[in-house]
Amino acid sequence: MPLKATSVRLDYETLKRVGQMAEAMDRPRAWLMAEAIKQYVAREEWFIHEVENGVKAADEGHLIDHADIKAKWETRRAAQMD
């Protein structure tokens, strides 16, 4: 069953900026807001999933020593400076 759309309340300045962006993109303001929300939700879902994976890996003992990671990044940084 499809969900009913809901309204979003924005302050005047943000709504004005969204309108300007929508006009520049030749898209309706509602389309731009829907796209922004979709992208935000996708990014936050990804982040939550990755944090859960990290916690699970840590709980299972799959950890890397801090000194090993630090050495790896220092080697990379040194290589980029050459």
| pLDDT at site 3 | 82
Q: For residue 18, give every residue at least 6 positions away whose Cβ sits within 8 Å of its Cβ, in sequence order, or none.
A: 10, 29, 32, 33
- Within 13 Å, how many C-alpha atoms sit on residue 52's CB side? 6
| pLDDT at site 8 | 84
Both structure tokens of 51: 């944090």
Render pLDDT for 9-57 as a digit per residue (tens, 0 to 9): 999 999 999 999 999 999 999 999 999 999 999 999 999 999 999 999 9
Residue position matching structure tokens 């050495």: 71
| pLDDT at site 24 | 98
Across the range 67-78, mean pLDDT stands at 94
CA distance 70 to 24: 45
Residue position matching structure tokens 């990044």: 73
- Answer yes or no: is pLDDT of 5 > 80: no
pTM for the model: 0.71
